[in-house]
Amino acid sequence: MRGVGREVTSAATAQTKGGAALRSRRWLFVITLLTGSFLLFLVQPLVARLALPLLGGAPNVWNSAMLVYQALLLGGYAYAYWLTRWPLRKQAIVHIALLGIAGLTLPIGLAELPSPAPGWEPLWVPALLALTIGPVFFLVSAQAPLMQQWFAADSRAGDPYWLYAASNVGSFAGLLAYPLLFEPNLSLQSQSIVWSIGYALLAAMVAGSAAARWKAKAPINAIAETAAPSEPIPAKRILLWLALAAVPSGLMLSTTTHLTTDLFAMPLLWVIPLGLYLLSYVPAFATDRSFAWAFTRPAPIILLLAGSMAMVSRGTGNLSSALAAIVLLFVVATTLHGRLYDTRPAPDQLTLFYLVMASGGVLGGIFTALIAPVVFDWVWEHPLLIIAAGALLPGQPLIRWMDRLRMHPRTHSLAAALLVVISVALGSFMVSAIEARDDTPVLLLTVGMAICGILALGKKWAFLMILVILMMARGGLETLKLTLDGDRSRSYFGVYTVRNYEETQRRALLHGTTMHGLQSFAPGMRSQPLTYYGPTSGVGLALANVGTLYGPEASVGVVGLGTGSLACYREPDQSFDFFEIDPQVLRYSRGGVFTFLEDCAPEADILLGDARLKLAELPPSQYDILVIDAFSSDAIPLHLLTEEAFETYARALKADGMLLLHISNRFIELRPVMAAAAEARGWDSAIRSDVPGGEDGASSSDWIVTGPGKAKIAALREADAAMAWDVLPEPESDAWTDDHASILPFIKWENMLGS
């Protein structure tokens, strides 16, 4: 008996030691997951930066990139689902071997693909990114479900789902580390090398994690082992998982597009929605459910208040509107991801759960990045996804007022219908208040309609109807009218709106929040360049004097067509070429909507495609003056301002040519950047900051003149003593290159923060 007692005691002691050893190994799985997720979201912007000279910076480029990453993530999760059907040792051997093979593609370098024909960008961009990063991204993305499954291989490990929250902390850290640490301090080549070292460390951690579970006796997967499998998951539950994953994924992308298109086009804005989307998994998958509940409870209120602005399409540049959209995304994503966690299966079905979740993410990405730009003329996917989120939110009433009033259940629907009717009445008053630009009644009416929506909770149909009414009243009717009137169009590069101002006889082309061009149809004004191109602007002065400076047969190249305003500086015998990346812009300028080209330069050549690539294809020494005006918003095309870009411009210019660059920007101070670029080439330079007065349609603008033609630049500066050109400030850093550039040191934080 004593011997038996000693055996039991020894077994208990061994089990205790084994449990302690198990707990001591938790850190290994956490660090492996953190590292893998960190690398995933560090490589996304890295590859996007590598591709920038070919793709530019349109919001849909980032959405296409995100779709590729979601598809690769789905592939990685499918691979993990397939792999976990085998015993753990076989999984480890296969996975580590594949990590080694994929590592042969490192360091990261951009794949070589022919340039896309106009209109094929939605397919070309994903293909380029997938070929560039596909193998390693595919395998690293499998870490989240695979490491959780290995962690659960020991019966003493407990619920593994909390590890997914930890992995998203790593994702968020990687996303922030890129613009704040890596991009400002390291060249792209160095970034690629650092990432490759991180990949090697990750492979070592995966091997260590496999070793930690090498002797695990508990089943990893019911299919691979002898344990009885869990009950099959009903199709209805799988469809719910798909919806709960798809809506936040699509909403993250649509929020980015909506913000940059209609509210607040500022640099690095894409980081915020993606970062908050990733962070939403942390409270949603936390073991302590009070964190998720803290967001789920007020979610309907925030959906009503912040979602009311989802159909606003008149650019406001309002930081509060942008903040509301971001808060809405985080709260909705946390709530829906919380529902995912609450409906999770047993650990033996873990990889299936994540496979379905990744499939939902891809579906949301396909809808937002591929289908919506083709089907819709505006960012209609954003309000549609908010409505879908409202349908998926928990429907329990916040205030059970109907029960407290002891209403009969049959009257509940009548009470909800009455709330809808009240909301319609309040909405009609709101439309009038918005037309009168009276903010206080708009705010009060919004709160009143939101209260109606809150009281309607418990009747999902009534809640959703009030949400739609609120959206339509707050700005949706105007947005819908522009769509029905055909005054708006959408392409891969953005949303364009034509606005007619009858009182001033003017017509404007808006690209999101940015004025793309303005034409007056008043008598004698049809051929007058306006906005940033007026006669006192830097480009206006240069083109007005081009004949004097270069003779009657001067040649001019213009990067960025817009409405074609600059065509009306052309004189007979002068040649003008325009470079335009978006065929939709050309349709506006040559389709009779704007008549600058038709009136002033009908024979001008229009070269469709990325200007930097097109200029490189032309014979050298083409232009006396080259104008760079390709900024579609305050989010600048960085690839047009690097040393390599200036090399292309120098090749296109004649020996005494001039380069004019439009650098007006609310959020980035570009003068030091341009000073560094000009100094690197030994060019003289000057800046014309034009602040026209009156109501003549001209806008304030900053234009820089530089180039190899020192004498011509001096002559331009002396052409009109009343139109001063100033000296550029001293460079504050080295010139930007394709390999190393960061806007972070040049951000105007006072404007970014609204101060």
Q: At 662, which CATH number? A: 3.40.50.150
Q: Looking at the domain assignment, is residue 624 inside a domain? A: yes
Q: How many residues are listed for the chain in this entry?
A: 755
Q: Residue range 118-136: average pLDDT?
A: 78
pLDDT digits (tens, 9 = 90+) for 552-579: 999 999 998 989 999 999 999 999 999 9
What band does 190 get if pLDDT is binned at 50, 70 and 90?
very high
Q: Residue range 330-348: average pLDDT?
A: 93
Do 135 and 190 sit in the same domain of this protein?
Answer: yes
- Of residues 394 and 113, the one with the higher pLDDT is 394
* Boundary-marking domain end, from 174, 197, 221: 221
Kindly tell me the burial class for residue 755, based on how many C-beta atoms sit within 10 Å of its own C-beta (0-12, 13-18, 19 or more). Answer: exposed
Instruction: Give me the domain span that covers residue 717.
Output: 527-752
pLDDT digits (tens, 9 = 90+) for 461-492: 999 999 999 999 998 898 888 888 888 888 87
Pick from 332-346, 381-395, 637-651: least confident: 637-651
Using the predicted structure, report yes or no on whether residue 230 has a pLDDT greater than 70: no
Pairing of strands 555-559, 623-628: parallel
Q: Looking at the domain assignment, is residue 507 inside a domain? A: no
Give the CATH number of the domain where residue 31 resides: 1.20.1250
* Boundary-marking domain end, from 451, 484, 517: 484
Distances in Å between the Cα of 197 and the Cα atoms of 106, 192, 205, 515 are 10, 9, 13, 45
Do 631 and 535 sit in the same domain of this protein?
Answer: yes
Across 120-134, 512-526, 707-721, the highest mean pLDDT is recorded for 707-721
**What was the pLDDT predicted at 753?**
63
**pTM of the shown model:** 0.82
How far is 15 from 201, CA to CA, in rounded Å?
32
Q: Residue range 174-189: average pLDDT?
A: 88
Do 476 and 539 sit in the same domain of this protein?
Answer: no
φ, ψ of residue 411 in degrees (nearest 5): -90, -5
**What was the pLDDT predicted at 26?**
82
What band does 57 get if pLDDT is binned at 50, 70 and 90?
low
Using the predicted structure, report yes or no on whether residue 11 has a pLDDT greater than 50: no
- Of residues 721 and 42, the one with the higher pLDDT is 42
What band does 315 get if pLDDT is binned at 50, 70 and 90?
low
* Boundary-marking domain end, from 484, 501, 517: 484
**If DSSP codes are grouped into helix, strand and coil, which group holds residue 306?**
helix
How far is 487 from 397, CA to CA, in rounded Å?
41
Do 425 and 535 sit in the same domain of this protein?
Answer: no
Using the predicted structure, report yes or no on whether residue 621 has a pLDDT greater than 70: yes
How far is 497 from 563, CA to CA, in rounded Å?
12
Q: Residue range 518-522: average pLDDT?
A: 92
Do 652 and 739 sit in the same domain of this protein?
Answer: yes
Q: Looking at the domain assignment, is residue 32 inside a domain? A: yes
Q: Residue range 329-334: average pLDDT?
A: 96
Q: Looking at the domain assignment, is residue 109 inside a domain? A: yes
Do 460 and 559 sit in the same domain of this protein?
Answer: no
Using the predicted structure, report yes or no on whether residue 268 has a pLDDT greater than 70: no
Q: What share of the chain is helix, strand, coil (3-state, %, to 5)?
A: 60, 10, 30
What band does 9 get if pLDDT is binned at 50, 70 and 90?
very low
Using the predicted structure, report yes or no on whether residue 701 has a pLDDT greater than 60: yes
The residues near 700 (Cβ < 8 Å, ≥ 6 apart) are 664, 689, 690, 691, 692
Using the predicted structure, report yes or no on whether residue 365 has a pLDDT greater than 70: yes
Do 197 and 67 sit in the same domain of this protein?
Answer: yes
Q: Residue range 379-396: average pLDDT?
A: 92
Do 543 and 426 sit in the same domain of this protein?
Answer: no
How far is 210 from 492, CA to CA, in rounded Å?
45
Q: Strands (DSSP E) along 611-650, which ranges?
A: 623-628
- Of residues 388 and 229, the one with the higher pLDDT is 388
Kindly tell me the burial class for residue 351, based on how many C-beta atoms sit within 10 Å of its own C-beta (0-12, 13-18, 19 or more). Answer: buried
**What was the pLDDT predicted at 58?**
54
Distances in Å between the Cα of 417 and the Cα atoms of 74, 402, 412, 452, 472 are 42, 13, 9, 10, 18
What band does 34 get if pLDDT is binned at 50, 70 and 90?
very high
**What was the pLDDT predicted at 754?**
59
Using the predicted structure, report yes or no on whether residue 10 has a pLDDT greater than 60: no
Q: Residue range 29-46: average pLDDT?
A: 90
**What was the pLDDT predicted at 205?**
95
**What was the pLDDT predicted at 384?**
96
Average pLDDT, the chain: 85
Q: Residue range 641-664: average pLDDT?
A: 94
Pick from 118-122, 352-356, 357-361, 500-504: least confident: 118-122
Q: Looking at the domain assignment, is residue 64 inside a domain? A: yes
**What was the pLDDT predicted at 412?**
77
Pick from 128-132, 177-181, 233-237: least confident: 128-132
Q: Looking at the domain assignment, is residue 111 inside a domain? A: yes
CB contact at 8 A, 510 and 499: yes
Kindly tell me the burial class for residue 195, based on how many C-beta atoms sit within 10 Å of its own C-beta (0-12, 13-18, 19 or more). Answer: buried
Using the predicted structure, report yes or no on whether residue 587 has a pLDDT greater than 60: yes
**What was the pLDDT predicted at 226?**
38
Across 10-19, 77-86, 219-228, 270-279, the highest mean pLDDT is recorded for 77-86
Pick from 266-275, 525-534, 562-571: least confident: 266-275
**What was the pLDDT predicted at 225?**
41
Residue 518: enclosing H or E segment and its boundaries?
Answer: strand 514-520
Q: Residue range 56-71: average pLDDT?
A: 68
Q: Looking at the domain assignment, is residue 282 inside a domain? A: no
User: What is the share, in percent, of the chain residues with pLDDT greater than 90?
Assistant: 46
Do 647 and 587 sit in the same domain of this protein?
Answer: yes
φ, ψ of residue 514 in degrees (nearest 5): -105, 135
How far is 733 from 37, CA to CA, in rounded Å?
33
Using the predicted structure, report yes or no on whether residue 516 has a pLDDT greater than 90: no
Of the CA atoms within 13 Å of residue 45, those in its CB half-sphere come to 25
Using the predicted structure, report yes or no on whether residue 168 has a pLDDT greater than 70: yes
Total domain count, the chain: 3
Q: Looking at the domain assignment, is residue 459 inside a domain? A: yes
Using the predicted structure, report yes or no on whether residue 121 has a pLDDT greater than 90: no
Do 626 and 697 sit in the same domain of this protein?
Answer: yes
**What was the pLDDT predicted at 220?**
46
Using the predicted structure, report yes or no on whether residue 385 has a pLDDT greater than 50: yes
Do 564 and 707 sit in the same domain of this protein?
Answer: yes
Q: Edge-to-edge strand order for the sheet containing 488-491?
A: 488-491, 494-501, 506-511, 514-520
Q: Strands (DSSP E) along 629-668, which ranges?
A: 653-662
What band does 729 get if pLDDT is binned at 50, 70 and 90?
confident
What band does 264 get if pLDDT is binned at 50, 70 and 90?
very low
Using the predicted structure, report yes or no on whether residue 14 has a pLDDT greater than 60: no
Using the predicted structure, report yes or no on whether residue 355 has a pLDDT greater than 80: yes
Of the CA atoms within 13 Å of residue 91, those in its CB half-sphere come to 28
Using the predicted structure, report yes or no on whether residue 194 has a pLDDT greater than 80: yes
Do 90 and 154 sit in the same domain of this protein?
Answer: yes
How far is 493 from 423, CA to CA, in rounded Å?
37
Pick from 309-323, 550-564, 668-682: least confident: 309-323
